[in-house]
Amino acid sequence: MAVYYQQLVDGEAIDPEAEVEPHSPEQTDEELLLAKYNGAQGKGWDVEWLIDTMFVARKVRWNPDSLCERIFRII
């Protein structure tokens, strides 16, 4: 298994889903997912767990304002 990430702007995927590299070889997928959750929350993103292995981070960004969503999940 691994942690994957995809970014959407105003509901449209702007990047293909990509694997997130762990911070260390010993880091579990669950630890990496939680680190990404905490990191987004600490940077002002509105984060929400969708299920135990997936969360979404949302923030209005850019000009004109666009809803940016980043979805992280273990698959």
Over the stretch 45-70, which tens digit does the pLDDT of each residue have? 999 999 999 999 999 998 789 999 99
Determine the structural domain holding residue 68 and report its residue range: 3-74
Q: How many domains does the structure of the chain reveal?
A: 1
Amino acid 63: pLDDT: 79
Q: Given this model, what pLDDT does residue 59 score?
A: 96
Contact 17, 6 (CB under 8 A): yes
| Sign, CA torsion 43/24/55/63 | positive
Is residue 25 reached through a cis peptide bond, with omega within 30 degrees of 0 on the bond before it?
Answer: no
Task: Write out pLDDT tens, residues 2-22.
Answer: 999 999 999 999 989 999 999
> Under a CB-based contact definition with an 8 Å cutoff, are residues 10 and 73 in contact?
no
pTM listed for this prediction: 0.92
